[in-house]
Structure 1
Amino acid sequence: MEPTWLGEPTVDALRAALRAVAPDLAEGTIVPRGLEPSDDPQWCSASAVVDGRFVVKFAWSRPAALRVCHQARILDALGKAAPRLPLPAVVAASHDPAMLVLRWVPAAPFFDVRHRIGPAERDGAARDLAAVLAELHRPATLRAVSEALGPLPEPAAPATTDVLRARFGALVRSDQRARVLSWCDWADTVLAARGRTVLVHGDFHGDNHLWDGDGEALRLRLLIDLETVGVGEPEFDLRCLPADCGVELFAATVAHYEEAAGTSLDVDRLMAWHLRTVLGDALWRAEAGVPLPDRRTPVQWVDDLAARFAALGTFDEAGGASRPA
């Protein structure tokens, strides 16, 4: 069924759509998030909290509407295929207009609680991260979701190394440019062969897993924003963790993942995807005049990346490869 979508990005248009999809919520207090016009139809979507109890996802373009509908189908299929995953509870879903109503959960994004993860909490947090990813990546999960939904998309890949070679050098110090070029050559070699295929979240960063931080121990409470779920390799799904978690929590998560999944991860592949993701994010933000999430600079991000590579033994502090690609 071809979806429809809101005619404009306004609270009034959302309220009118709720009258058709979830009438009990239509007259509630609506607090929108990300409700700004966009010149790119791909990003004409937003969410809103209604009465502090529900989250509504909606769109005002066809590409964005398709993503909302994809997330609704994924949540339905995953709920049956992997019931142990901490997924949002669906209250209502609609194609006409494209809308998804989820029950709101009192939990915080990982980015808001990661400062609380010290040595004593590290193992528990790593276990939670690993358990969610290993469950999502089980062959049986991919098989069941594919049988329910048919062919699945591949999530959008980060910036290519060709793009980074051509444009990233303008953002950094002269001494960093040769290092970035060397990293790109290394990433091309590492990613030359295709990895194994699993069901991936596609955008597993610290805003897309929520944690219960009220008690003594932090626990991963909810996996959210599943609009990018598709087929990819497990290393692609873990590519944000080295920066989001720090090297020690990342390494602990890899160890617990391999134990839970019964299979190994190729850390070089993971770091090659990490390289493209980090530098690609810095590139588009700098070129668009959008601040980096931590308000730092591409120069600082390259230094951070070099430190992570050195800590993991991928490259030494001078930028030379510590082991062959």
Structure 2
Amino acid sequence: MANGNITEFVFLGLFPGENGKAVGCVLFSLCYFAVLSGNLLILLTIRGSHLGEQPMYLFLSYLSIMDVCFTSTVAPKLIVDQLFKWNTISYNGCMAQMFYAHFFGATEIFILVVMAYDRYVAICKPLRYTVIMNRKVCSALVMASVAGAFFHSLLHVVIIVRLPFCGPNQIDHYFCDVFPLLKLACTDTSLLVIIIITTTGVLSILTFVALVISYIIILSTLRSHSSKGRRKALSTCSSHITVVFMFFLPLIFTYVPMADSVSEDKLFALFYTMIAPLFNPLIYTLRNTDMKNAMRKVWCQDKLLDGN
């Protein structure tokens, strides 16, 4: 039940015109299908090969799951709104969408950090890698990521549900997020904006800086490796660095606003909700030798058996 008189919200969306909505429906449907099929391909490849025994690819499989779940909290509703012009969402539905979007997004952030730690141990402490990154530790890191994301998203929902909504109910966005909802509250939210920027924006910046520093250390360590080992390590690290930049930079610009520009927020949000999950499977398959070899073995196995 909403605090105030508002029981539903109306999305203004991305495209104001009818022609733009038709084009957007087609584009977002194709992108969503590509996200589902690409990440499913990664999951099945890792499960059907020996890669699932390695911590890096175990974390990659969880990252693919988070990509699918994260995009699924936004894309289906967005596509339906473009197709049938149903731009409304109930108050409870809005709170649920915001919770799951922050939960899956934050879990993805923490898993990216865990993947960076895995690469640091593998390259900087190779002799102790199997001891440090054993199955029990990997499971604990994943569970810690999920727990941290749960409390992060719960904090945002608690902040919003305590606010009164008694005026306009039009959200200038395409999904329920914290800043657009704060602008509709019938009370002063300046302190809450600072809290959100501190908890999400500063956390994103600190995490991004920590990831950059970790990869600087990794790259400096690679200078002492052989050329073959250096190429293999760079193929995995470069994929991860690309994903980190694609996901974190739009997130930082969204939650550390330099100006009050909702249109730019919507554009940045499109990057980390749709575009980054779309390109993640391509990045990890095209730039990763182990993934490409595993895909050949898994998906060409039937053809090889038929040939024999």
Calculate the TM-score normalised by the size of structure 1.
0.24
Calculate the TM-score normalised by the size of structure 2.
0.25
Identify the structure with bigger relative contact order (alpha carbons < 8 Å, sequence gap 6+). Answer: 2
Return the structure number with greater helix share: 2
